[in-house]
Every structure is written in C-alpha cells, then in structure tokens.
C-alpha cells in the first residue's frame, strides 16, 4: 500500500522540472512556461542526471492556418541544428496516413490547427546521457473534427543535452509548456 509520505516526497510518477532559464517565455516559478505570440521558445537546464526519461506536455494555439510545431535538442544554450533528426508519423482524421523524414535539422512534434486548443505530449528517452536520443509523441486537435497524430523520432549523435527549443513553421504560437521527469 502506498504511504502518504512516499507520495509527498515524489516517490512515484512524474515530477515537474523547473528550467534554469527560458528564452521567449516566462516560468511561473514552479516550472510551467507560458508564451505569447512567440515563433520559438527555449527551455534550458531541464535535463540532468536526476531523471533518465522526461515528458514534455504542451497546449498551444496558432492564429493562421495549419502549421507544424518542431523540436530541437539543446546544450549550453545552443540548439543542435545538424541534419541528425529522423522521424515518422501516423495521422488520423477522416483517413489514416503516414509520413517519414530523415536527415532533418529538427523533429516534428505536432500539427497545429487554427485558433483551437492543440494539446500534446512528447516523451524523450535519455537526453542527458551521451547516447542517441529517442522520442515518441502524441497530439490532438479539435478543429472541425478530432484530429490526432503520433510521432516516432530519433536524434542520432551521442551527445548529452540539457534543454530544447520548440518552434513553429510559420507565424507565432501562444500557450504553455511543462517538462516532467519520470521518477526512477
């Protein structure tokens, strides 16, 4: 049986991680970052040896058309922009379709609809270890009809990363983002 003190000490589940710094957003003091009319948002100092795996949870809105939300890993305040990202996606709307991209300079993590709540999460496996990093993510949008997409990604260099940047293919986004560490 789980004891109340174990839960209070963060002995189970996910733990909200506070970034050491944020670019183009504001940390609420606990770790949730909000942003408004931003083309990109960077979180530094969220990955460390404290946790092995992480979950990024985001809620975003966009004002013009349909756009893509991308992610790049980051170390010491600098994005990893080499063509080392590979990803595949499965989409479900009126039909089911798939896609694949290799040797990209970022990984896709969401397809965002106009002015509606777009919600998603991305699990990142072992970003702080000097090994290739893998991701799996899910997004859903309620524009016209429920639309969902699942992503499978990898970043191939054996480098230790401490943060990431999300950015939009065009225009700007407004919303919030939180990073959680999976308790060991």
**Measured torsion, CA atoms of residues 111, 105, 23, 33, in degrees rounded to the nearest 10:** 40
In this prediction, residue 107 carries a pLDDT of 93
Per-residue tokens: 146: 């429920």
Beta strands 163-168 and 147-159, pairing class:
unpaired
In this prediction, residue 61 carries a pLDDT of 85
Beta strands 96-104 and 26-27, pairing class:
unpaired
Listed by start position, the domains of the chain span 14-182
In this prediction, residue 5 carries a pLDDT of 41
Residue 5 has phi, psi (to 5 degrees) of: -65, -30
Closest CA to 151 of 140, 163, 166, 167: 140
- pLDDT, one tens digit for every residue, the chain (184 residues): 344 444 455 567 899 999 999 999 999 999 999 999 999 999 999 999 999 999 999 998 887 777 888 999 999 999 999 999 999 998 887 788 889 999 999 998 887 776 566 788 999 999 999 999 999 998 887 666 677 889 999 999 999 999 999 999 988 999 999 999 999 8
Question: Which residues, including other chains, have CB under 8 Å from residue 90's CB and lie 6 or more apart?
Answer: 96, 97, 98, 149, 150
Which CATH architecture best describes the domain 14-182?
A: Sandwich (2.60)
In terms of DSSP H, where are the helices of 80-163?
Answer: none
The string of DSSP codes covering 83-100 is: S-EEEEEEEESSSEEEEE
| Strand, helix or coil for residue 9 | coil
pTM for this predicted structure: 0.89
Closest CA to 155 of 121, 120, 131, 183: 131
């Amino acid at each position: 049986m789980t004891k109340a003190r174990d839960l209070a000490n963060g002995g189970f589940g996910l733990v909200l991680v506070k970034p050491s710094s944020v670019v183009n957003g504001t940390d609420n003091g606990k770790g949730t970052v909000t942003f408004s009319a931003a083309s990109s948002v960077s979180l530094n100092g969220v990955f460390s040896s404290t946790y092995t795996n992480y979950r990024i949870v985001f809620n975003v809105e966009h004002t013009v058309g349909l756009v893509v939300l991308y992610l790049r890993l980051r170390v010491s305040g600098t994005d990893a922009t080499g063509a080392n990202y590979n990803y595949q996606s499965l989409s479900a709307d009126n039909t089911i379709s798939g896609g694949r991209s290799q040797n990209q300079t970022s990984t896709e993590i969401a397809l965002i609809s106009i002015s509606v709540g777009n919600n998603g999460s991305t699990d990142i496996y072992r970003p702080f270890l000097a090994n290739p990093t893998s991701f799996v993510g899910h997004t859903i949008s309620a524009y016209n009809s429920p639309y969902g997409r699942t992503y499978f990604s990898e970043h191939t260099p054996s480098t230790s990363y401490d943060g990431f940047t999300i950015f939009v293919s065009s225009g700007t986004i407004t919303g919030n983002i939180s990073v959680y560490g999976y308790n060991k």
